[in-house]
Amino acid sequence: MKRSEIVLQGIEARRNQKKGIANFEAYLHTINDIHKQLTCIHVAGTNGKGSCVNDLRSVLQEAGYRVGTFTSPYLETHYDRIRINDEFISEEAFLSYYDRYHQGWYDYELSAFEIDTVIAFLYFYEQKVDICIIEAGIGGRYDCTNVIHPLISVITGIGLDHMDYLGYSIESIAWQKGGIIKPDTPVVINEQKAEALSVLKRIADSLNALMILTKPIEHAQIHQDQLTFTYDQKQFTLSQPAYYQAENGACAIEVLRILSEQYHYQISEAALLNGLKKANWKGRFEKVWEQPLVIIDGAHNEAGIQALCETIQTMGNVRILFSALKDKETDSMLKALCICSNDVTVSEFDFYRCKKAVALAGDFPVRIEPDYQKAIQTALHDEETPLIITGSLYFISAIRAYFKQLTNEVKDER
């Protein structure tokens, strides 16, 4: 086993360390409060965080800025959480931070996520990025990323997810997400539910934080591999043809407007249009196979599935392959998928939190195939019917790796 694999195994084994944000701040103080020397945007929300971060990164990069991004969970490799201009941190750089700082991490009993956050802060600082976009992990208020003091806070939307940690109502989850709002700092919100907005407005008002709500999306249309929509009387094009991506794009547009008008970032109209069009967030309505068409989408909760279904229902007859984690509202997710298609297969994958296929299926009219690779091979025999693979982001990560293997096998045969 490579040394890097041993290091990553050791870090990832620290998932359940929970010393709290005060302990994390105490550790950061030992490395000169490096987070206070970064220019940041902070993004929280139930769904759409990664896409919004990527939209912002793409436009700012198009405008000539050097942009650091921190997202989770990883999709291809542990290193893809930490990027500069969409390039993953290298294995060598990651190991160098481990060698220099790991004793302090263990002294302060940092969790795996806290360690990744520290590495991101150090990397962005040493690489002198112009701006970094930090995605919160779970919630926001008590998330370790909430130590930063951003130019702008962003809340992409509020839904029922991670309820064991965040609460069982929209109001309680909004209170947790709203914890990233900072005094006298604008916050962009892509949320319509009155019960969530009332909580967020109360928090924003108490902190004198200007609250900007995204405007309605108009004229959203899918044309082959693109989505066009009108926002605030301007037309935009995205390269991922899923309706929900227009909402994430709108969120990014409002953030970029504040960066331009209030903080004087130089973002031209061309950079805005081209950056949004070029943005492509892997694992979100991503095409991984041509014939049959295979789309993967990490819709890992009820709100995500409902958003995905809006697009699936425009595609005609489709097959669906689904797997999810034990702690999700899987019955409501599966109910929505069964409305979209009469050909749904449930499966499972190698992860300690994965829900077994039989338990996932319950009494729903679905096929049960615990081996997702067998389910995929069966679906690929029908070259006419598109296959949508969705559910846990951890599942989507495994699926992407499998299709990469299939693609390489096809290339070798040629």
Q: Where in the chain is the domain with CATH 3.40.1190.10?
A: 3-278
Q: Where in the chain is the domain with CATH 3.90.190.20?
A: 286-413
CATH architecture of 286-413: Alpha-Beta Complex (3.90)
Q: Under CATH, what is the fold of the domain 3-278?
A: UDP-N-acetylmuramoyl-L-alanine:D-glutamate ligase (3.40.1190)
Per-residue pLDDT of the chain (414 residues; tens, 9 = 90+): 899 999 999 999 898 778 899 999 999 999 999 999 999 999 999 989 999 999 999 999 999 999 999 999 899 999 999 999 999 999 999 999 999 999 999 999 999 999 999 999 999 999 999 999 999 998 899 999 999 999 999 999 898 878 777 888 999 999 999 999 999 999 999 988 999 999 999 999 999 999 999 999 999 999 888 999 999 999 999 999 999 999 999 999 999 999 999 999 999 999 999 999 999 999 999 999 999 999 999 999 999 999 999 999 999 999 999 999 998 889 999 999 999 999 999 999 998 889 999 999 999 999 999 999 999 999 999 999 999 999 999 999 999 999 999 988 776 665
- HEC assignment per residue over the chain: CCHHHHHHHHHHCCCCCCCCHHHHHHHHHHCCCHHHHCCEEEEECCCCHHHHHHHHHHHHHHCCCCEEEECCCCCCCHHHHEEECCEECCHHHHHHHHHHHHHHHHHCCCCHHHHHHHHHHHHHHHCCCCEEEEECCCCCCCCHHHHCCCCEEEECCCCCCCHHHHCCCHHHHHHHHHHHCCCCCCEEECCCCHHHHHHHHHHHHHCCCCEEECCCCEEEEEECCEEEEEECCEEEEECCCCCHHHHHHHHHHHHHHHHHHCCCCCCCHHHHHHHHHHCCCCCCCEEEECCCCEEEECCCCHHHHHHHHHHHCCCCCCEEEEECECCCCHHHHHHHHHHHCCCEEEEECCCCCECCHHHHHCCCCCEEEEEHHHHHHHHHCCCCCCEEEEECHHHHHHHHHHHHHHHHHHHHHC
